[in-house]
Amino acid sequence: MSAKADLSTRAALIRNRLLAASQRHVMAFWDELTVAQRARLLADLESIPLDQLPDLVATHVAADGSLPLPSADRLEPVQPSALAGRQAADAGDAMLARGEVAALTLAGGQGTRLGFDGPKGAYPIGPVSGHSFFQLYAASLRRVGNRFGKPVPWYVMTSRCNHAATVAYFEANAHFGLDASDVFFFEQGQMPCLTREGMLVLADRDRLALAPDGHGGLIEALGRSGALESMHDRGVCRVSCFQIDNPLVRCIDPVFLGMHAASGAQMSVKAVPKAHDTEGLGNVCMHGGRLRVIEYSDFPPDLASARNSDGAPRYRTGSISIYVIEVAFVEALLAGGDGLPFHRAVKRQRQIDPSNGKPFEGEVLKLEKFLFDALTLADRALVVETRRDEEFSPVKNLCGADSPASAKRDMNERAARWLEAAGAKVPRDDRGEPAATLEISPLLADSADALAGVVDRGMRIEPGSFVYLR
């Protein structure tokens, strides 16, 4: 069959599916398109769940799209476990020595909001070295691999907009000292943007408006990409999963791994006390005996500000999106159709009017899944509370809170604290902040205890100096 005939056959099949879904308008310009443009439009249409569209429209467009929240009297605060224990650390070490753990980074974002043209993971965040998120994480994984004599496989979930650039970035940097065979890239899925009337949106005459399906798209992407098969081949039983934009993250934490295993959990999450009632973290709660995480934007104000009798916040625990997930749990979710609900977001973006082909900016509805919803589906789940100043300083904004400046400040303060714990002399200003710019390579140490064994107790840092320990 010729390529042209094949295109015609595919187009006929898509037309029938669009007709069934009442979405024929997206082929309004078909007769004006070149062969290459037609192929692009068909590829977009074939990549989305057209058959599910009527149900999605009924649930998330015709209705208000919000997921029902449990009543306040049935939503209980969670009691997290403290991150500690030599026994847990030993158990985690044993898993790593057996090669049972992989790292998994959710890296689908672009650096646009940071004024950076490229994948967010390539953004330079090291306060002294200028190393990127990816480079910091690679160094951390190299250290763990060196310690246990087994490489830690690294699975990196990208998106359509940054996949090629991410792969090219790793190749240009020789995978930051990792063996290329130990790094597995795969793309998250896409969902179509919709109008308020439930109609598909055109980004151009030959392109659908598509958006990533959220970090909850990880579950299906693992199965679709062959990543799960790769994990089986390598003997990986569980993954340490984290977002791309947290330079304080401990990519592999033996204590967290050991606590997860000891509890028999299928999925575990790290959390911190919220800085204030409406901080942009998922609210970790209990409902019907199961963990439930409710996005900050969906959490009713009266619950966010609720207080116990002693005046302490009732719902104080916020997820920082660091997980341990059993591979068997991912497989169980996939066998049941993943079970994660879609959440709706309303945005404005450029689009094409299908009636005349003219561009305009208008409202679209985007559907995405959240990985934390999998916690509710787990028969056994664990919440572990950790220290914010040790493990969490996200980079979300160009300036102010949760920005590169705040993350670098927190990296500097943590480095100073680790050095002081090791016996080094760190200068501080009259506000108590480090009077030098400090950075510790994750290849050298990933905790205060690890640094204590490699730093001279009499080490002195000069005021105003830039110090990179590697």
Q: Are residues 433 and 385 in the same domain?
A: no
Q: In a structure prediction context, what are the per-residue pLDDT tens digits for the chain, which is 470 residues long?
A: 455 668 889 999 999 999 999 999 999 999 999 999 999 999 999 999 898 888 888 888 876 655 566 666 688 999 999 998 899 999 999 999 999 999 999 999 999 999 999 999 999 999 999 999 999 999 999 999 999 999 999 999 999 999 999 999 999 999 999 999 999 999 999 999 999 999 999 999 999 999 999 999 999 999 999 999 999 999 999 999 999 999 999 999 999 999 999 999 999 999 999 999 999 999 999 998 899 999 998 898 889 999 999 999 999 999 999 999 999 999 999 998 878 999 988 999 999 999 999 999 999 999 999 999 999 999 999 999 999 999 999 999 999 999 999 999 999 999 999 999 999 999 999 999 999 999 999 999 999 999 998 988 889 999 999 999 99
Q: Are residues 15 and 151 in the same domain?
A: no
Q: Are residues 60 and 123 in the same domain?
A: yes
Q: Are residues 66 and 126 in the same domain?
A: yes
Is residue 167 classed as helix, strand or coil in its secondary structure?
helix
Q: Are residues 106 and 240 in the same domain?
A: yes
Q: Are residues 345 and 428 in the same domain?
A: no
Q: Are residues 62 and 5 in the same domain?
A: no
Overall pTM > 0.95: no
Q: Are residues 41 and 64 in the same domain?
A: no
**Encoded tokens for 93:** 């070490």
Q: How many domains does the chain have?
A: 3
Q: Which of 378, 396, 414 is the endpoint of a domain?
A: 396
Backbone φ and ψ of 5, nearest 5°:
-65, -40
Q: Could you tell me the CATH number of the domain that includes residue 269?
A: 3.90.550.10
Please tell me the distance from the alpha carbon of residue 439 to that of residue 450, in angstroms, as a whole number.
15
- HSE-CB at 305 with a 13 A cutoff on CA atoms is 3
Which residue in 110, 96, 92, 83 sits closest to 141, CA to CA? Answer: 96
Backbone φ and ψ of 187, nearest 5°:
-95, 140
CA atoms 54, 57, 58, 59: torsion sign: positive
Q: Which of 373, 396, 419 is the endpoint of a domain?
A: 396
Domain that includes residue 29, residue range: 1-46
Please tell me the distance from the alpha carbon of residue 290 to that of residue 21, in angstroms, as a whole number.
36
Q: Which of 379, 396, 413 is the endpoint of a domain?
A: 396
Q: Are residues 354 and 423 in the same domain?
A: no
Q: Are residues 207 and 255 in the same domain?
A: yes
Q: Are residues 260 and 290 in the same domain?
A: yes
At 1 the pLDDT is: 45
Q: Are residues 439 and 329 in the same domain?
A: no
- Residue 222's DSSP bridge partners are none
